[in-house]
Structure formats: C-alpha cells, structure tokens
Amino acid sequence: MDGGQVIPEEIRGLLDRRGTFREWLSRLDELGSEFRPEVAEKVRSDYAGRLARVEDELEGHRAGLETALVDRTEAVRHISSEHDARTAELEETQLRHVVGEFDDDEWESRRAEHQGLIDGLE
C-alpha cells in the first residue's frame, strides 16, 4: 500500500463502483413498476450480484486498511509527541535567554536549531 495516499486508487475505484451499483439499484426501485417484473428482477439480480462482488473485493482489503490505519495513527502519535518535546525545548531555551543565561547570539543560534526541528515535524 502506498504510504502517501490515504485511500489507494484501487480501493477508490471499488468504492466508486459500489456507489454506482447502489445508485442503480435505488433508481431501479423507483422505475421498477414501469417495466415488466421479470425484466426488472433480472436487472436487479445483475446489479445486486455485481454489488456483492465489489463488496467482497472491498472486504479483501479490510485487513490491509486496518493495519495502515494503526500504522498511521502510531506515526501521528509519535510526531505529535516529538513536536511537543521540541516545542518545550524551544520554550526552555527562550526562558533561559530571558533570564540571562544565553546572550542574544546564543539564543538566536539555539532558536534557529529548535525551530528547524519543529518545522521538520510539521
């Protein structure tokens, strides 16, 4: 599964097809009485079968999607924790500058370093 895409293209296509079949079945419900019952039932059966196959394919992707979700959730948690830690370090450095431990040059150097790390996480 591509780490850059939230929903892989293959699954997007399946979701689109599922939506199409559901829409067709809904329209068939609206129009069914305008056609002979056996014709409407034949078309309904075709759409229902195609919908079931698409849903089976989607189900086949469930485990991979659940794993990807867990992985992404953990990555977000890790990045958030890193961001909080780096922000606290920047704040500590600023406080040390304000009380006089670091002169302006030292503050600017450390601020730039910390800010670069924070920016890299955003």
Residues 83 and 52 placed together within one structural domain of the fold: no
Report the sign of the C-alpha dihedral through residues 83, 85, 88, 92, in that order.
negative
Domain of 111? 76-122
In a domain, 69, yes or no: no
97 falls within a domain: yes
CA distances from 63 to 47, 56, 74, 92, 98 (A): 26, 13, 17, 43, 52
Give domain status of residue 9, yes or no.
yes
- At 86, which amino acid appears? R
53 and 95 fall within a common domain: no
pTM for the model stands at 0.60
pLDDT tens over the chain, length 122 residues: 445 567 889 999 999 999 999 999 999 999 868 899 999 999 999 999 999 999 999 999 999 889 989 999 999 999 999 999 999 999 999 999 999 999 999 999 999 999 999 999 88
d(CA 58, CA 52): 10
- Are 93 and 52 found together in one domain? no
For the chain, what is the domain count? 2
